[in-house]
């Protein structure tokens, strides 16, 4: 046991001083030997494969077809079919993945799970968490930092998408500790995942709706979408939108964070924007790896916040070329838009804002959580 520990420590030391290419090779070699090399988190794309492998989608088991066809459905955006599975509206292609995660995924005790509703700061949280957790191996001011060559979505895998695509083996190939992401409601998580450290980010719902709108427009083929902003707004008010209802998504993790603050860190996009460096410190403390005095003196938390800022990310070549995703490819650039608070004023009338505020506040009543001042 002691010898194994020593070996792991040596691997960590070697990994933290080796150049990027060497670290990738070390991780791959250790994985081939079947030893979970303690250099995680490593960028998912460096270990989990790329390009060709992404294309090998395996169809979900036949039995899922019956389960899925019996679920309530609705259309959303450009006639996408959403299915209501255990109270949550999922893209129909994602339902098999969620069922498989529930039935077959066993998280490792040291996995860290990032969770968000769509368009609430997922990309940013992935970048900040990866940079914070992997800072020993990849110093944030290093010129070969993975986030300088890879989009954050290529660094942190999306669990239910991989299961939907039949590519869950790629998750097993990742060395511990793994950094994983899901959009699943708390009530959908299998017990082993719900026991992990979870970092949750949410956002003021009106800004979330506006962000979805722009994202949808940016990824649609020329000709646009057969859906208006007010249709999207209406679906959000009714809770019938991707991973909706938003209030159930937020409340599940809010309650979990109140019950076990040491296990669930509840972040709000608006607060992160107000003070990104405090967010980084908070994240590091929560993950059990607070910054040392030497790291503070060296400005490590500041370097992480700068590396992950929207301006830095938007300016990188990797985020202006290529696409991320397994079931569907999304241009890297589509994940970075304005990154501000309150853009809803440019899209909603005061009456629309009052109505959605009232709906959300009603659903959150008594929880201690609120999105309106
Ligand atoms: P806007 O569309 O309001 O600009 P997600 O990552 O969950 O898809 O969320 C996307 C939203 O987060 C977009 O919001 C995007 O601009 C913003 N975003 C992406 N990267 C960011 C970063 N590094 N800092 C702050 N906001 C970021």
pLDDT in tens, 124-167: 999 999 999 999 999 999 999 999 999 999 999 999 999 999 99
The reply to whether 371 falls in a domain is no
Distance from the CA of 337 to the center of ligand 1, in angstroms? 6
Residue ID of nearest Cα to ligand 1 atom 24: 310
- Same domain for 53 and 24, yes or no, is no
The reply to whether 107 falls in a domain is yes
Q: Which residues are tagged catalytic? A: 183
Q: Which residue has the higher pLDDT, 22 or 224?
A: 224
- Same domain for 73 and 8, yes or no, is no
Range of the domain at 22: 1-39
- Same domain for 52 and 15, yes or no, is no
pLDDT at residue number 82: 95
Ligand 1 atom nearest residue 338's Cα: 4
- Same domain for 101 and 3, yes or no, is no
CA dihedral (270, 124, 345, 360) positive or negative: negative
The reply to whether 373 falls in a domain is no
pLDDT in tens, 232-275: 999 999 999 999 999 999 999 999 999 999 999 999 999 999 99
- Same domain for 9 and 32, yes or no, is yes
The reply to whether 71 falls in a domain is yes
The reply to whether 307 falls in a domain is yes
Q: Is the pTM value of this prediction over 0.85?
A: yes
pLDDT over 90 percentage in the chain: 76
pLDDT at residue number 10: 42
- Long-range contacts: 266-271, Cβ < 8 Å, 24+? 266/200, 266/202, 267/121, 267/125, 267/199, 267/200, 267/201, 267/202, 268/201, 268/202, 268/203, 269/120, 269/121, 269/124, 269/201, 269/202, 269/203, 269/204, 269/207, 269/341, 270/203, 270/204, 270/341
Q: Which residue has the higher pLDDT, 18 or 234?
A: 234
Split into its structural domains, the chain has a count of 2
Residue ID of nearest Cα to ligand 1 atom 12: 121
- What confidence tier does 367 reach under pLDDT thresholds 50, 70, 90? very high
What are the helix (H) ranges across 70-183?
Answer: 95-104, 122-133, 146-149, 152-155, 159-164, 169-172
- Return the number of other C-beta atoms located less than 10 Å from residue 265's C-beta: 21
- Same domain for 18 and 73, yes or no, is no
- Same domain for 19 and 132, yes or no, is no
The reply to whether 372 falls in a domain is no
- Same domain for 100 and 249, yes or no, is yes
pLDDT at residue number 4: 39
Residue 211 Cβ inside 6 Å of ligand 1? The answer reads yes
Distance from the CA of 340 to the center of ligand 1, in angstroms? 8
Instruction: Tell me how far apart the alpha carbons of residues 2 and 5 are, in angstroms, rounded to a whole number.
Output: 5
- Same domain for 74 and 216, yes or no, is yes
Instruction: Tell me how far apart the alpha carbons of residues 226 and 144 are, in angstroms, rounded to a whole number.
Output: 43
pLDDT at residue number 328: 84
Residue 222 scores a pLDDT above 70:
no
Distance from the CA of 212 to the center of ligand 1, in angstroms? 10
pLDDT in tens, 34-93: 443 446 799 999 986 654 455 466 777 778 888 999 999 998 887 779 999 999 999 999
- Same domain for 119 and 16, yes or no, is no
- Same domain for 293 and 276, yes or no, is yes
* Burial environment of residue 47 by CB neighbours within 10 A (0 to 12, 13 to 18, 19 or more): buried
């Amino acid at each position: 046991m002691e010898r194994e520990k020593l070996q792991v420590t040596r691997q960590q030391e070697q990994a933290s001083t080796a150049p990027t290419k060497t670290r990738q090779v070390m991780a791959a070699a250790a994985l081939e030997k079947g030893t979970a090399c303690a250099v995680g988190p490593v960028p998912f794309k460096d270990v989990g494969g790329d390009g060709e492998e992404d294309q090998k989608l395996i169809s979900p088991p036949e039995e899922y077809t019956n389960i899925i066809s019996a679920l309530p459905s609705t259309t959303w955006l450009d006639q996408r079919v959403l299915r209501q599975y255990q109270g949550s509206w999922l893209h129909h292609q994602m339902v098999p993945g969620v069922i498989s995660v529930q039935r077959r995924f066993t998280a490792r005790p040291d996995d860290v799970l990032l969770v968000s509703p769509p368009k609430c700061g997922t990309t940013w949280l992935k970048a900040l968490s990866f940079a914070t957790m992997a800072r020993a191996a990849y110093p944030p001011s290093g010129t070969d930092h993975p986030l300088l060559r890879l989009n954050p979505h290529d660094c942190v895998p999306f669990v239910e998408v991989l299961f939907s695509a039949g590519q869950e083996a790629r998750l097993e190939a990742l060395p511990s500790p793994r950094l994983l992401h899901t959009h699943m409601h708390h009530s959908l998580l299998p017990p082993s995942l719900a026991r992990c450290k979870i970092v949750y980010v949410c956002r003021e719902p009106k800004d979330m709706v506006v962000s979805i709108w722009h994202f949808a427009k940016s990824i649609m083929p020329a000709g646009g979408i057969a859906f208006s902003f007010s249709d999207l707004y209406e679906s959000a008010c009714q809770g019938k939108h991707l991973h909706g209802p938003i209030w159930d998504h937020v409340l599940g993790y809010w309650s979990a964070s109140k019950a076990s603050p040491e296990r669930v860190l509840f972040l709000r996009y608006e607060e992160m924007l107000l003070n990104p460096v405090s967010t980084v410190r908070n994240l590091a403390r929560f993950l059990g790896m607070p910054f040392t005095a030497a790291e503070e003196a060296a400005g490590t938390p500041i370097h992480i916040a700068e590396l992950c800022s929207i301006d830095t990310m938007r300016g990188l070549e990797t985020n202006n070329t290529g696409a991320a995703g397994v079931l569907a490819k999304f241009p890297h650039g589509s994940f970075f838009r304005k990154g501000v608070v309150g853009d809803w004023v440019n899209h909603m009338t005061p009456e629309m804002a009052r109505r959605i505020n009232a709906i959300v506040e009603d659903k959150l009543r008594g929880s201690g959580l609120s999105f309106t001042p």
